[in-house]
Amino acid sequence: MNRPRRENLTAKRCGRIEELLQDALDLRTSCTNTIHVLRSQCSDEIFHTIMNLLVTAGFQQPGVIMSRHDVLLNEGRIRRAIEELHEFRYVVKKREEQFKILLRYIPEGRRLVQLKTLLQEQLEKSKITEARSIFMYNKEHEKVALELGELLEDVHDRYVFNTLATLDRQRGSWTDVDPKIPSDLEEAKDATEQEQLEAL
């Protein structure tokens, strides 16, 4: 490969790294802002109840998103950096979509806090046992956590990938060395297209 072409390719790759990193940082900020909005719209107890629902639903935080200063570029690491940032951007975009769901769970968090208070009052009046109080609360908590978990799982990979691909197309991103959509998503797409053809 001649030197000017190689330098041009390196510049494109570096530009793509910068773009992916900025996307990941912007999405991380969006996630943080969503949590701040959630936090501002409910009491401490409701907020902690909702966060506890997340844990019960099996939600896991993504790893730390790197900062701009963490990307050390050299010729051998450029492609790997693009792959890593592509993955980071995907994970944070998915989290952003999932965090939006949390805002809809403020009423459920409030209801669980009210239930806990009611059960505590019943316990203090000796109308129920402590074991019964714990059982009743945990039963409702598990039910809500299961519903939340299902909603979080409904944020499909295909939707996230398509949203990010649309963003890249709209701004004319250079994506020649981006990782391709995982094969399981391609297979799902092919199966859906096949089902649509068979329906005709």
pLDDT number for residue 91: 85
> How far is residue 89's CA from residue 24's CA, in Å, rounded to a whole number?
4
Name the packing angle between helices 44-56 and 130-153 (round to 10°).
70
pLDDT number for residue 19: 81
From the list 170, 29, 159, 30, the residue with the least C-alpha distance to 100 is: 30
- Mean pLDDT (the chain, rounded): 77
Interval 143-176: pLDDT, tens:
999 999 998 888 888 888 888 888 888 888 777 6
What's the total number of domains in the chain? 1
pLDDT number for residue 192: 43
Domain holding 151, by residue range, is 3-198
Better-scored residue on pLDDT, 199 or 136: 136
Rounded to the nearest angstrom, the gap between the alpha carbon of residue 116 and the centroid of all alpha carbons in its chain is 29
Better-scored residue on pLDDT, 139 or 164: 139
* 15: helix, strand or coil: helix
pLDDT number for residue 39: 85
Interval 27-65: pLDDT, tens:
888 888 888 888 888 888 888 888 888 888 777 654 444
Residues 148/149/150/154 CA torsion (nearest 10 deg) = 100
Report residue 73 as tokens: 């570029």
Q: Write the CB contacts of 187 (distance below 8 Å, at least 6 apart in sequence).
A: none
pLDDT number for residue 74: 52
Where do we find the tokens 């949203």? 163
101 has pLDDT over 50: yes
Helix%, strand%, coil% for the chain, nearest 5: 75, 0, 25
> How far is residue 106's CA from residue 112's CA, in Å, rounded to a whole number?
10
Q: What is the mean pLDDT of residues 12-20?
A: 77
pLDDT number for residue 7: 64
114 has pLDDT over 80: yes
pLDDT number for residue 93: 86
